[in-house]
Amino acid sequence: MNTSGGLLRKGHPVGATGLAQVVELTMQLQGRAGQRQVEGARTALAQNGGGKKGNDAAAMLVTVLQS
Q: Cβ contacts of residue 63 below 8 Å, gap of 6+?
A: 18, 21, 22, 25, 45, 46, 47, 48
pTM score above 0.75: yes
Residue 1 counted as domain residue:
no
Amino acid at 4: S
pLDDT value of residue 3: 82
How many domains is the chain partitioned into structurally? 1
Q: Mean pLDDT, consecutive 10-residue segments, the chain of 67 residues?
A: 75 76 95 96 92 88 95
Range of the domain at 43: 6-66
pLDDT value of residue 9: 73
pLDDT value of residue 18: 84
pLDDT value of residue 14: 67
Alpha helices in the chain, H assignment, sequence order: 6-10, 17-30
